[in-house]
Amino acid sequence: MIKELFGEMLIGGRPNSLGRTVDVVGIVFADRAQLEELYACYQSEDAMVGWCRSWNVCSKTAVNPPPNPSRI
């Protein structure tokens, strides 16, 4: 089975939806080592992936969520 990248999973869909964030949350809960790949999504050129959806996943999976990237 080919592993799908989080950036690919979080792209697309309606702008007012969270897309496949629930799928990514499940993967990160199962393997915390995947957080590094998730954090890399903040660098996405797609604002919906880079900000909204990756932040949503982080807020659901981190005990101490990362700082708001728009304020860095």
Per residue of the chain (72 residues), give pLDDT as tens. Answer: 567 899 999 998 888 888 899 899 888 888 888 989 998 998 888 888 888 899 888 888 876 554 554 443
Q: What pLDDT shows up at residue 9?
A: 92
pLDDT of 6 reads 92
Q: What is the pTM of this model?
A: 0.76
Cα–chain center distance at 13: 14
**Exposed/middle/buried for residue 45 (C-beta within 10 Å: 0-12, 13-18, 19+):** exposed
